[in-house]
Amino acid sequence: MMPFFMQVANSEVHITFDDKEGRDVYRHSTSHIMAHAVKELFPDAKLAIGPAIEDGFYYDFDYHRHFTPEDLIMIEERMREIIKADRPFVRKEIDREEAISYFKSREEPYKIQLIEEIKDKSVSLYQEGDFVDLCLGPHIPSTGKVKTFKLLSVAGAYWRGDERNRMLQRIYGTSFSKEEDLEAYLKKLEEIKKRDHRNIGRELGLFSINEETGAGLILWHPRGALIRKTIEDFWREEHYRWDYDLVYSPHIAKLDLWKKSGHIDFYRENMYSPMEIDNIDYELKPMNCPFHIMIYKSEIRSYRNLPIRYAELGTVYRYERSGVLHGLLRVRGFTQDDAHIFCREDQLPDEIQRVLDFTVFVLKTFGFHEYDIFLSTRPEEYVGTLENWEKATSALKMAIEKKGLSYRNDIGAGVFYGPKIDIKVKDAIGRAWQCSTIQVDFNLPERFDITYRGEDGKEHQPIMIHRALMGSLERFFGVLIEHYAGAFPLWLSPVQVRVLSITDSQMDYARKIKDELRSIGIRTEADLRNEKIGLKIREGSIEKIPYLLIIGEKEKKGNTVNVRKRGGENLGEMTLPEIIERLKKEIEEKL
């Protein structure tokens, strides 16, 4: 796209769509054009907000009925007319009280509320044609600079994300500088839709969320539970191999524990209301770390004992607003693959590198070979000394650089008690997912006064590393479903093999094959129904079962099976020892 100038206050800045800032300005301007079209078509609609987001934009409206797909078509047509008119975006700065008066005359309550929250004496408005909107800007020079766009969907959204407020209608859209880029993006959206873990989870019988049980709470069905068990078994075995001790902790603790840890001060909005037991307030745990600290404190520690590594698949509970809950990816109760390492300061660099190695190993095992690494630094609200923050950040940075890994700084994105490394995996279609995190913490050891006896016979404070390799089992499972589109590798598949009989005369032989495979730990089912073999194969394909073993009279007489692989590849006849050898190798190597 040709460069354009965006207007910022009284100056102009040279920018293009290739710049992230340029894309945001371009899409934010498109959202204004959409709001203009909506107001022309539906004058009673009230305007809320309309920001650019990753890959697109949205605008929230308060309107007395739901917008329909037909409405979106009408809005698009009116947007094209506005774009064709090529009217300039003009910035105006006016007195705050004058702006309130203006939007009162236009009966725009949400704009008035936004202005009332602004402390400055003046506010900025942007106008194109006869449409005026409250906006900080900047915008592209004129409506005609928008080359191609598409409105995508309508969803409900509470004003300010608070379910106590009125439900608004959010129209999502996207815009690009080139038609071919828009077409490629729409194709990607179709692929994303096919991979939606909520649909695949329902179709394959993996999990469900029931309103009677509660929003954001996952029910694991037998097949999903089998995959979870497989993941957990691998996780435990590897943690023993990497020299961790496994621990378990309760689901609740006294409220005072969370006061001491700092969670009440810095994390209260994500915690549930306390419950009273024996006149003492208890709290559902949002984290596992204070429990692991109490285990550490249960006995005197020597410098010779360190590092100590505690790992737990610990279920935690965090309050998420109903508007952001999303299948397995955003829930209210989830199981973290959590660990805490207590080490001396001189051990810190090696321990961080060790965690990085473990993380990369786990991610690759599950089929993730590309990822982005971010070093998240001190936020505005934090605890602890600046000196300790600098030490922790430096240790993380050195560990990444020593491993030769590329990374980006994420300024101010650390947690309240320390900086962190975040690793975002890339899935099969290039989307990034936040999973792994490594956090250095000088603060909690100080708050809980944990020590070890040094070589000098004195008490010293250990450093604590918080780390999660997968993040949470629920979220990681959702990412796996979308990564593989439900076609899991053999070692993870809930049903690894299905034996199919062609007629009733092969039923006994099919049962024998099934029983032999199950006896050596291969997850096997038999389909012995009196149905056409084509139907059985088709159903096995829909259920994404890795191997179908087809048995007819020929196979029965020859003590063989006809092997059909997921995707339709026919491997022909094999003896049972041959197929067992193949399956064992594939499972063992986690292919």
Show which residues are catalytic.
289, 318, 336, 338, 340, 420, 466
Rg (the chain; Cα; Å):
29
The residue with tokens 């690793």 is 423
Q: Are 563 and 549 in contact (CB under 8 A)?
A: yes
CA dihedral sign of residues 399, 402, 408, 409: positive
CA distance 551 to 273: 59
Alpha helices in 297-347 (DSSP H): none
Give the C-alpha distances (Å, rounded to integers) separating 437 from 199, 342, 375.
28, 16, 10
Q: What backbone torsions phi and psi does residue 486 show, to the nearest 5 degrees?
A: 85, -10
Paired residues of 171 in beta bridges: 59, 154
501-506 CB contacts, 8 Å cutoff, 24+ apart: 501/526, 501/527, 501/528, 501/551, 502/533, 502/550, 502/551, 502/552, 502/553, 503/552, 503/553, 504/528, 504/530, 505/553, 505/556, 506/551, 506/552, 506/553, 506/555, 506/556
**Structure tokens, 270:** 């994500």
Q: Which residues contact 233 (CB under 8 A, 6 or more apart)?
A: none
Q: Are 551 and 501 in contact (CB under 8 A)?
A: yes
